[in-house]
Every structure is written in structure tokens, then in C-alpha cells.
Amino acid sequence: MISISLKAEPIPADRIPRTLEEHGILTNHYAEEYISHPRFFAGLKRELTVTVASLREIGLADGASLEELFRHIRGSRLRPCPPCTGLFLRLAWRDQPQSRNSVLSGTHSAPDLSVTVLSEIPEQSDAFPKGLYLRNVDGKLWLRGYICDAAYRFPGDALFAFEAINE
């Protein structure tokens, strides 16, 4: 598990693509669709601690669907992040370990060393992105959106970012 402290300031929606470009961060169309949702900045916190852990590390060795994951962390010291957390995490976390697999899409599985940001899902549709994930592929930093249906199970070694409750 790793812990990352974030400071976040709202970014005007029309400025986000330029901010990502200025930082050399690449996106896919699912990320762009997710970021453009009107509820993207809902629950924005100026300061936030994020914990990155595998599902195995939080007690889900056999993996889990998103619904199972949300249920599993309820009552724990982890919670879903505000939807915009992936953006601020990607801007802050420049030294994410590099993936051993450079395939970017089409595998229908959590990519090697990717970190999926668990956040509330702004739209309940299998066609709308469920959230964002971060990857370092061939030295290039990515902020990517993903889609999956309710039956999809993330494997036990899948890495997730959660908001850490420091009470």
C-alpha cells in the first residue's frame, strides 16, 4: 500500500485538456467523456489522502466486481474518491511504476500496474465510463477512462486508489 497526499483546486472545464497537455498526460475518449460530465467536480476536496492498494491487500484476494468493492469498503477506513480525484492524482503522481505491458486497450482486463480510482459512478449506464485509471506506458503518463458491466470482476492483484479516512 502507498499513501499520496493531494491538494486540489478546481480547474475550469475548458482548461482541463490544456492542463493535461502541459503536463504531458495522455487521455482516451472514455476519460474525456468522464471528465466532461457535469458531476465531475462533485465532492471536490481541497486536501485528500489517497491510498493505493491491491484488492488482495484489502481482503479481496479473489477479486471483486465494483458493487462488491463498494460494499466491502463500507465501514472501513477507505471510501470512494470524488470523481475528479483521478485528474489530481495523475497530475501529482509522476513516478508511477511503468507497466510491463504496453497494450493500451482491447484486453478487457485491468492493465498491468494500472491504478483504478474508485469513485462514485456519475451515470448508471454500461456505455458510460465507470471511472478513471492511471498508467505509465513506455514512460508516458496516461489518464484513461474505462467501461465495464456489473458482472465484470477485477482480479485480486488489481490496484485501486481509495480516499483514506484519517480519523
The tens digit of pLDDT for each residue in 100-147 reads 776 655 556 667 789 999 998 888 888 999 999 999 998 999 999 999
CA dihedral 52, 59, 66, 112 (to 10 degrees): 50
pLDDT computed for residue 98 by the predictor = 87
Residues 20, 90: Cα–Cα separation, whole Å = 9
Flag whether pLDDT at 91 surpasses 90.
yes
Q: Domain limits of the chain?
A: 2-164
pLDDT tens across 3-61, in order? 999 988 888 888 999 999 999 999 999 999 999 999 999 888 889 999 999 999 999 99
Q: Which three-class secondary structure state does DSSP give residue 52?
A: strand
What is the DSSP annotation of 98-115?
PPS----SSS-SPPTT-E
Q: Are 100 and 113 in contact (CB under 8 A)?
A: yes
Q: Are 166 and 49 in contact (CB under 8 A)?
A: yes
